[in-house]
Amino acid sequence: MNDDLLGAYGKDYNNNCFIKYLKMHFTVKEIKSAIRRYFLGTSHHWQGATVFWQIDQFMNIRTGKIMLYNKKNGKRVKEPYSHITWMHSLLKKDNFVLQQCLFGIHNLCDYKTDDLICIVESEKTAVIMSMLYPEYLWLATGSKSNLKYELIKPLKNYNIVLLPDKSEFEDWNTKAMFFGRNGFSVTCNSLLNQLRVSSGSDLADILI
C-alpha cells in the first residue's frame, strides 16, 4: 500500500462520526493534532466511518481498519452487525498477506527510550488518551488477543505500560511477565480491574 491512500482518505472530517464525537469533548486544535499524529481517515464504505491506519515504525502502511462509531456516545456500531472491515479487503489486494503492527507505532521516532510507551486495546482509546496525556506515546493492539511478541518487538528498549480493558488484566499481565522474561521493560496496570465498571470498559470510558 502506498502513501497516496493517506491523502485519498484524509479528508471529509466534518462527516466523520468519530470526529464528531471528539468535538463534544476536545478543541478543534487538539483534534487536528490527533488526526495528523495518527493519520486518521474517513471512509464512505459506511457513511461517516473512520480509517485507523496501521503504519509501522519504518512508515510502511500495513493496512487500515475501518470502523463506524456512534457520533453521540462514541461507541462502536454493532447493530444490526459489527461495522468493522479492512482496507486491504476493500481494495481487493491480490495475494495480500496481512502482517499487523501496533496502531500508532509510526510515531515511535518522536520518543526517546526513557519515555513511557502506553499500550491499550482500542484505536479509539489510543487517540483519546493521546489528547488527554500527550506526553506519552499511546499505541493500540486493535483487539484483546493481539498483544503479541512480534508486535511489541520494536519496543524492546523502551519502558512499556500495558493498560488492559476491564476483565482483561489477568491475560495481559501473564503476557507482561512473559515479555519481561524476554528482555522487555514492561508492567501491566490494574487500575480498571479495581474499579466497579462493566466488563470491557476502557480508559476512555472512565475519563470521558
pLDDT tens digits along 97-113: 999 999 999 999 999 99
- Please give the class, per CATH, of domain 105-207: alpha beta
Q: Where would I find the H helices in the chain?
A: 4-9, 17-22, 28-38, 87-90, 123-132, 149-152, 169-181, 191-194, 203-207
What is residue 95's predicted lDDT score, i.e. its pLDDT? Answer: 85
**Average pLDDT for 119-146:** 97
* 48 has pLDDT over 90: yes
What is residue 208's predicted lDDT score, i.e. its pLDDT? Answer: 87
Q: How far apart are CA 200 and CA 69, in angstroms?
A: 16
Per residue in 50-86, pLDDT tens?
999 999 999 999 999 999 999 999 999 999 999 999 9
What is residue 88's predicted lDDT score, i.e. its pLDDT? Answer: 93
Q: How far apart are CA 180 and CA 146, in angstroms?
A: 17
Assessment of whether the complete model's pTM goes beyond 0.85: yes
Residue span(s) of the chain under CATH 3.40.1360.10 come to 105-207
What is residue 139's predicted lDDT score, i.e. its pLDDT? Answer: 98
What is residue 93's predicted lDDT score, i.e. its pLDDT? Answer: 81
What is residue 57's predicted lDDT score, i.e. its pLDDT? Answer: 97
Mean pLDDT (the chain) is: 95
What is residue 196's predicted lDDT score, i.e. its pLDDT? Answer: 87
Q: How far apart are CA 59 and CA 149, in angstroms?
A: 20
pLDDT tier at 179 (50, 70, 90 boundaries)? Answer: very high
Q: How far apart are CA 30 and CA 132, in angstroms?
A: 9
**Average pLDDT for 131-156:** 97
CA count, 13 A, side-chain hemisphere, 136: 21
pLDDT tier at 170 (50, 70, 90 boundaries)? Answer: very high
Cα distances from 115 to residues 41, 55, 165, 170, 191, in angstroms, run: 27, 20, 23, 25, 21
